């Protein structure tokens, strides 16, 4: 495949990655809650899931939310490996970034435990965590240090 065709395919595939990631995250949420015995219901609005509702008298266990994050990442990461083998660098980078958002969201899921901190601080912690996790994951996994043919990242020392 020529370089220009590969870039075009990469951009098209990368446009679908957030859509797929949202579905995987909500499916993982539903599986985690249903697996823990909660009466989980997946709500869909148009083409996207809008959330999972669960019936629980004692609240949702933090372990359930952690399990959701692990499931979501385990469903998403194979896409990154597939895109990496196909040399779809933008798509692979986007998948790894989404996985970083999933890991950071485990913090977001526990906000009810630490509700005394202002929302702006929580948002900042979430964004910095997601960005840091994504960058270091790419830095470790992208051996030629090339996110894309144009972008170079400093090598580890």
Report pLDDT for 126.
78
49 backbone dihedrals φ, ψ, rounded to 5°: -75, 140
Indicate the domain borders of the chain: 3-141
User: What number of other Cβ atoms are within 10 A of residue 153's Cβ?
Assistant: 13
Report pLDDT for 145.
52
User: What is the secondary structure of 26-80 as a DSSP string?
Assistant: HHHHHHHHHHTT-EEEEEEETTEEEEEEEE-SS---HHHHHHHHHHHHHHHHHHH
* Tens digits of pLDDT across the chain (157 residues): 787 888 889 999 999 998 898 889 889 888 988 888 888 888 888 888 877 776 666 667 777 878 888 898 888 888 888 888 888 888 888 888 888 888 887 776 666 556 677 778 877 887 888 888 877 777 666 655 555 454 555 555 4
Nearest to 91 by CA among 154, 5, 13: 13
Report pLDDT for 113.
59
Which residues make Cβ contacts (< 8 Å) with residue 10, sequence separation at least 6? 88, 89, 90, 91
Distance CA 132, CA 97 (A): 10
Report pLDDT for 157.
47
Report pLDDT for 57.
60
């Amino acid at each position: 495949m020529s370089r220009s065709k590969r870039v075009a395919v990469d951009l098209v595939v990368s446009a679908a990655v957030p859509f797929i990631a949202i579905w995987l995250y909500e499916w993982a949420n539903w599986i985690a809650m249903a697996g823990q015995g909660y009466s989980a219901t997946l709500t869909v609005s148009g083409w996207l899931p809008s959330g999972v509702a669960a019936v629980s008298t004692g609240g949702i266990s933090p372990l359930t939310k952690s399990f959701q994050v692990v499931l979501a990442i385990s469903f998403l990461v194979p896409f990154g490996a597939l895109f990496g083998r196909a040399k779809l660098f933008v798509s692979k980078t986007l998948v790894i970034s989404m996985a970083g958002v999933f890991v950071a969201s485990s913090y977001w899921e526990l906000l009810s435990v630490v509700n005394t901190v202002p929302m702006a601080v929580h948002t900042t912690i979430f964004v910095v965590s997601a960005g840091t996790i994504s960058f270091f994951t790419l830095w470790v996994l992208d051996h030629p240090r090339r996110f894309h043919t144009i972008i170079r990242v400093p090598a580890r020392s």
